[in-house]
Amino acid sequence: MKLTQVRGVRGDASPRKLQSGGAWLALIVIIALLGGTHHDFFDVSNIRNVLGTNAELLVVAAGMTIVVLSGGIDLSVGAMMAAAQLLLMELHGLPTALAILIVLAFGFAAGALVNGVLIGIAKLNFFVVTLASMTFGYGIVLVITGGSTTTLTSNFLNQLGNSLVAGIPTPAVIFVVLLVILVLMLRRTTLGRAVYSIGGNAEASRLAGIPIPAVTVLVYGISGFCGALGGVIDASRFLAATPTTGNNGEIALTCMAAVLLGGTALKGGSGGLAGTVAGVLVIGVLQNGVDLLGLSSYWQQAVTGIVLVAAVSLDRFRAIRPFRNGRTAASRLVVSTHDGSGWAAPAGSEPAGSTDRGGSN
């Protein structure tokens, strides 16, 4: 334990440029290994397969990235996907394009009005709120569908999920359009700046007049929109509305793995979408490699865990840059554990108020 603040190093590039390096490097290494060991890997159909199957994860993880940048987490993205598919099924009487627009609007509204309002305005904890809305969402979908999958028949939907645009799977093209919009939002609008700013230092943002509740509502709205879009893409690829879409909520954790792999800080404020794209592709390519090599898909999970730690460690060693004058207010302890000696606090003593530090309950 060091009892002083770690100092930033002068003259480095901006952290955003550095922090996704680990994920891209990991991606290149994995691609090189797979390309070298399996001749089908660079096959056009295999690459299309990787892009197509991961489009929905990319879309949902993009929304998650924005939530994480703002300092939160949205565990309810999987439930949003399932709810979107249910709504799409219920709207089968309408023209499919119109139905999809309604579903996307629903995703934004539900994310903003449920998660956003409870977290941003009622100031409830994001973890609790989105865990609850995930559970609630899946519950309601299961109640309505009785747990059964419904086939969707729509030529438009089929085109959306299973066609190519200029040789690229349509879902991947949809993702690229979304990516461009979200990157512009993050980098070229004051809303994007506010997202980074409230994740980086909520107090400083508040004192600069940034309306944190409004930003939070919008951020969870965007995540809801991305969840709904992910649900639509999933429905279009399989032409079905599945009540357990998003692996019963596990997709939120996969997204978090991709976001962190991509170098976005868990506490918010630094990182970005470029890293998340690499993060999702690492996970997707690993899955593909495991399939190609004929291994059990459990291996993909195990390897992803290792790659996650490796990529995040790489970024950490390249870009340690906390606040020069101490990250926190003067009265707070600035602890870092680089020297590996660990925390030597007086365990067993009974300090007043020490329990709310550990968060053990």
Partner 1 sequence: MPHAIAEPRLAVRGIGKRFGQTWVLRDVSLAVAPGQVHAVVGLNGSGKSTLMRAVYGAHQPSEGEILLDGVPCRFRGPRDALAKGVAAVPQELPVVPELSVTENIFLGMLPNSGGMLKLKHAHAEAERVLRHLHADAEVPGVHESVGRLSLAGQQLVTVARALVRHAGVIVFDEPTSALPGPAAARLRDVIRTLRADGEAIMFISQRLNDVLDLADELTVLRDGRAVAQGPAGAFTSETIVHWMVHGRPPATALARQAQVQVPVAETPASPPPGTAPVLTVRDLSAGRLTGISLDVWPGELVGLFGLPGSGAADILRAIYGAERATVGTIALDGVPLTRYSVRARIDRGLAYVTGDRPAALVADLSVAANMALPAARGLARTIRPRNERNQARAQITALNIQPPEPDVPVSTLSGGNQQKVILARWLTGNPKAWLLDDLTRGVDAQAQADIHEIIRDRMRHGACGLIYCSDPRELHRICDRGLLISSGRVIREIDPRALDADDLGSLLEGSRTP
How far, in Å, CA of 15 to CA of 18, rounded?
5
User: Mask 202-221, x = binds partner 1 (CB under 8 A)?
Assistant: -xxxxxxxxx--xx--x---
Q: In Å, how far are 210, 212, 267, 328, 331 from 202, measured between CA atoms?
A: 9, 8, 11, 12, 18
**Burial tier of 306 (Cβ tally within 10 Å: 0-12, 13-18, 19+):** exposed
Least distance in angstroms from the C-beta of 271 to partner 1: 9
Of the candidates 30, 64, 21, 73, which has an alpha carbon nearest to the alpha carbon of residue 281? 30
Q: How many CA atoms lie within 13 A of 233 on its CB side?
A: 26
CA distances from 145 to 94, 114, 148, 239 (A): 20, 22, 6, 16
Q: Give CA 23 to chain center in angstroms.
A: 14
Among 170, 264, 270, 288, the residue binding partner 1 under the rule CB under 8 A is 270
Candidates 36, 294, 351, 359; binder of partner 1 (CB under 8 A) is 351
Nearer residue to partner 1 within complex by CB, 33 or 208:
208
For residue 50, the minimal CB distance to partner 1 (Å) is 32
x/- map, 293-332, partner 1, by CB under 8 A: ----------------------------xxxxxxxxxxxx
- 39 scored as a contact of partner 1 (CB under 8 A): no
Buried b (16+ CB within 10 A) or exposed e, 23-37: bbbbbeebbeebeee
Decide whether 156 or 323 has the Cβ nearer to partner 1: 323
Site map for partner 1, 134-173, x if CB under 8 A?
----------------------------------------
Q: Is 122 in the site for partner 1 (CB under 8 A)?
A: no
Return the number of the residue (115 or 197) whose C-beta is nearest partner 1. Answer: 197
Q: Which of 69, 57, 7 is nearest to 264 (CA)?
A: 69
Binding site for partner 1 (CB under 8 A): 1-5, 7-12, 14-15, 187-194, 196-197, 200-201, 203-211, 214-215, 218, 265, 269-270, 321-334, 338-339, 341, 344-346, 348-349, 351-354, 356-357
